[in-house]
C-alpha cells in the first residue's frame, strides 16, 4: 500500500497540518489510513488524543530509524494508505523513510526563506536517491497561501521552481482558520460544520479534497509507471 512522507527542514511549513488533513480526507472516503508521527514534538499524537478521530484512521508515534522502518512496513501491510510526518532535520531516519516512500510531499510557504528550506529538502532527497539507487517521486506543496491573491514573491518562487523542473501540486492549501481549529479541538473539518462561529468550513473541506484527489492521482500515475518498467 502507498506510503506518503511529508518532509520539511523548517518548522511552521504546514507539514503536520497537511499530513493530518490528507489522512482525515482519505479516511472519510472509506480508506484505512495509518498516520505515523515521527516528529519529536508529536503533533499528530496530540491531535489523536482528542475526540473525533475517524474510525478507519490510526495514529502511531515512533522514535528512531529502526522503529520508523518497522512502523512503515507494518502499517503498509495493514492499511490502504501510510502517511508519515517526518522530523524537521536531515537525519538518517528521514532518509530511510524517504527511501521507502511512494511519494514525498515537501510543504512550503510562499516566501523566499521557506522556499530555500524546501530546496534543501529536495537536495537531501536527491542524495537519498543516489544512496538507495532508486528514483523517489516528490512534489512541492504550497501551504498557508491566500485563496484570492497570489503575491508576486510566491509567483516568482513558482516560476523558479518550474524552470528547474521541480514538480509542484496544482492545489495549494490556503490559510484557513478551520485547519487550526482541527488541532485545537480535535476531530475533523466536518465536525466543525455545526460551529456557527467558524466560517469557511465548506471551502476548507473542498480545498483539502482537491489536494487529496491530486495526491491519489499522482500515486496512480506512479504505480502505472512502475508497472510499465517491470
Per-residue pLDDT reduced to its tens digit, 167-183:
999 999 999 999 999 99
Q: Sketch out the chain's domains with CATH numbers.
A: 3-228 (3.40.50.300)
Give me the pLDDT at residue 226, please.
Answer: 60
Where does the pLDDT of residue 194 fall: very low under 50, low under 70, confident under 90, or very high at 90 and above? Answer: confident
Grid coordinates given for 23: 489522512
Give me the pLDDT at residue 228, please.
Answer: 58
pTM: 0.93
The larger pLDDT score, comparing residue 223 to residue 131, is at: 131
Q: How far apart are CA 155 and CA 10, in angstroms?
A: 21
* pLDDT tens string 30-53: 999 999 999 888 999 999 999 999
Strand, helix or coil at 111? coil
Amino acid at each position: 500500500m502507498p506510503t506518503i512522507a511529508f518532509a520539511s527542514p523548517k518548522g511552521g511549513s504546514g507539514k503536520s497540518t497537511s499530513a493530518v488533513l490528507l489522512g482525515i480526507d482519505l479516511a472519510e472516503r472509506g480508506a484505512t489510513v495509518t498516520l505515523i508521527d515521527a516528529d519529536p514534538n508529536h503533533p499528530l499524537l496530540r491531535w489523536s488524543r482528542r475526540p473525533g478521530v475517524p474510525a478507519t484512521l490510526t495514529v502511531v508515534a515512533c522514535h528512531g530509524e529502526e522503529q520508523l522502518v518497522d512502523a512503515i512496513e507494518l502499517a503498509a501491510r495493514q492499511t490502504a494508505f501510510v502517511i508519515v510526518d517526518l522530523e524537521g532535520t536531515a537525519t538518517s531516519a528521514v532518509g530511510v523513510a524517504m527511501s521507502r516512500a511512494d511519494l514525498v510531499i515537501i510543504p512550503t510557504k510562499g516566501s523566499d526563506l521557506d522556499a530555500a528550506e524546501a530546496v534543501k529538502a529536495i537536495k537531501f532527497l536527491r542524495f537519498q536517491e543516489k544512496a538507495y539507487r532508486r528514483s523517489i517521486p516528490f512534489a512541492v506543496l504550497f501551504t498557508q497561501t491566500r485563496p484570492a491573491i497570489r503575491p508576486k514573491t510566491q509567483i516568482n518562487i513558482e516560476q523558479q521552481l518550474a524552470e528547474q523542473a521541480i514538480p509542484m501540486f496544482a492545489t495549494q492549501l490556503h490559510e484557513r482558520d478551520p485547519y487550526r481549529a482541527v488541532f485545537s479541538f480535535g476531530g475533523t473539518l466536518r465536525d466543525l460544520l455545526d460551529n456557527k462561529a467558524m466560517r469557511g468550513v465548506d471551502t476548507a473541506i473542498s480545498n483539502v479534497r482537491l489536494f487529496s484527489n491530486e495526491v491519489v492521482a499522482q500515486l496512480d500515475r506512479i504505480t502505472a509507471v512502475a508497472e510499465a518498467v517491470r
